[in-house]
Amino acid sequence: MADLLSVDEALERILSGITTLPAERVPLLDSLGRTLAEDIYAEANHPPFPNSSMDGYAVRAEDVAAARTDAPVRLPVSLDIPAGSAPTQPLHPGEAGRIMTGAPLPQGANAVVPVEQTDGRWSAGDHHLLPTEVQVYRAVQPGDYIRQAGEDIRAGQVVLTAGSTLRAPEIGVLAALGCVYVPVTRQPRVAVLSTGDELVEVHEPLPPGKIRDSNGYALAALVATYGGLPFRIPIARDTLNDVRRRFHEALDIRPDLILSSAGVSVGAFDVVRAVLDELGQIDFWRINLRPGKPLAFGHLQGIPFFGLPGNPVSAMVTFDIFVRPVLYRLGNRADESATVMVITGEDIRSDGRRSYLRVKLTDENGQLVARLTGTQSSGVLTSMVQADGLLIVPEEVTFVPAGASLPVRLLRYVVR
């Protein structure tokens, strides 16, 4: 098997030519699920001013130092500070100011006594009845029940880093900072092309000898799963002219990546190779990999191109191993592929190529156990539905006994 390219070597060669796409600015809510293209610095403190974390009374802590339930301290109420107001008067020594949660602390105050620890309780609707004085039942320390300016975010601080995925909490932070438009990495545009005389579109009836184009959809869905924008190109027939025409259509959408499936093995009707050689520089690799030995990679008019195998499972597995990292690199996303160590639940035979076998995982007494989903034929699409991951049997290994420890590459397909 010395003439076969290793999976790692192939991936390294592929990634060496891939660079991250430029940034674009999108409205705040549209940035959900996108990748932040730049570090975000806070221009101002958040919260912008010290404010109360409770409904209660702003005081000087030293004025209520002696307060106890059985010996309350009585203070005149000189200020009323609802949320959203900006107090213009300071709090003088020996006074209290009624203050609401989120309202700015007045000058002179250094603590808040929650209303529950005073006799100044109020119920909804009677806020306007400002008591003339309040009895405080408990002492507080300077700083109690105050959210300091910049406690959450300090001016000048890097709040979010480039490469982060923008989820609901990040969107909240950006909103708090007044970020109306967000710099995100442009999503990779990916042309997805299926080739083969046996293929019909999903909505068409199925004449004898034909099958539906499942790869076009599964691959487009994978592209979207990993942050790309898929563009399905109509099926190319196995003629030079039709394949050429469809590849030109693929180039016309100005893609960042082109994927085709089928027609890269040595079949009598495989005209894909001829067209690829016309349009660019393509290497036809034989990879030390099962499933997915034949794989074409190169550039068509400068755009990275993968010719994936036609068998549906091989197409999806090679996508996971080779295309997914490319989408991460193009889209500036952290590589979220994860591998866990498992115990094999049955004897497994392999053919000496590095094999990615579809397995189901079960937790048995805290130990993950992997069992094959059934036949490993690369045409059985439903095995990908069942699989929790791909058990990796290393090169040169032809037999793995039950109870062996091996890595599993998890298939989680989290759509965001």
Q: Which residues bind ligand AMP (CB under 6 A)?
A: 194, 196, 198-199, 211, 213-216, 261-263, 265, 267, 309-312
Specify the residue, 28 or 381, whose C-beta has the smaller distance to ligand AMP.
Answer: 381
The listed partner (Mg ion, ligand AMP, none) that binds 24, CB under 5 to 8 Å by sort, is: none
**In the complex, what is the shortest distance from the CB of residue 226 to ligand AMP, in angstroms, rounded to a whole number?**
19
**In the complex, what is the shortest distance from the CB of residue 260 to ligand AMP, in angstroms, rounded to a whole number?**
9
Q: Build a one-symbol-per-residue string for 239-268: x at contacts with Mg ion by CB under 5 A, - elsewhere.
A: -----------------------x------
Beta bridge partners of 341: 407
Specify the residue, 197 or 396, whose C-beta has the smaller distance to ligand AMP.
Answer: 197
The listed partner (Mg ion, ligand AMP, none) that binds 309, CB under 5 to 8 Å by sort, is: ligand AMP
**In the complex, what is the shortest distance from the CB of residue 270 to ligand AMP, in angstroms, rounded to a whole number?**
6
Specify the residue, 263 or 304, whose C-beta has the smaller distance to ligand AMP.
Answer: 263
The listed partner (Mg ion, ligand AMP, none) that binds 56, CB under 5 to 8 Å by sort, is: none
What are the backbone angles phi and psi of residue 242, rounded to the nearest 5°?
-70, -40
Within 170-199, which residues bind Mg ion (CB under 5 A)? Answer: 196
**In the complex, what is the shortest distance from the CB of residue 280 to Mg ion, in angstroms, rounded to a whole number?**
20
Q: Build a one-symbol-per-residue string for 135-164: x at contacts with Mg ion by CB under 5 A, - elsewhere.
A: ------------------------------
The listed partner (Mg ion, ligand AMP, none) that binds 311, CB under 5 to 8 Å by sort, is: ligand AMP
**In the complex, what is the shortest distance from the CB of residue 44 to ligand AMP, in angstroms, rounded to a whole number?**
54
Specify the residue, 152 or 198, whose C-beta has the smaller distance to ligand AMP.
Answer: 198
**In the complex, what is the shortest distance from the CB of residue 276 to ligand AMP, in angstroms, rounded to a whole number?**
14
Place of tokens 């010719």: 307
**In the complex, what is the shortest distance from the CB of residue 263 to ligand AMP, in angstroms, rounded to a whole number?**
5
Q: What is the 3-state secondary structure (H, E, C) of the chain?
A: CCCCECHHHHHHHHHHCCCCCCEEEEEHHHHCCCEECCCEECCCCECCCCEECCCEEEECHHHHCCCECCECEEEEEEEEECCCCCCCCCCCCCCEEEECCCCECCCCCCEEEEHHHECCCCCCCCCCCCCCEEEECCCCCCCCCEECCCCCECCCCEEECCCCECCHHHHHHHHHCCCCEEEEECCCEEEEEEECCCEECCCCCCCCCCEECHHHHHHHHHHHHCCCEEEEEEEECCCHHHHHHHHHHHHHCCCCEEEEECCCCCCCCCCHHHHHHHHEEEEEEEECEECCCEEEEEEECCEEEEEECCCHHHHHHHHHHHHHHHHHHHHCCCCCCCEEEEEECCCEECCCCEEEEEEEEEEECCEEEEEECCCCCCCCCHHHHHCCEEEEECCCCCEECCCCEEEEEECCCCCC
**In the complex, what is the shortest distance from the CB of residue 315 to ligand AMP, in angstroms, rounded to a whole number?**
7
The listed partner (Mg ion, ligand AMP, none) that binds 185, CB under 5 to 8 Å by sort, is: none
Specify the residue, 211 or 341, whose C-beta has the smaller distance to ligand AMP.
Answer: 211
**What residues make contact with Mg ion under the rule CB under 5 A?**
196, 262
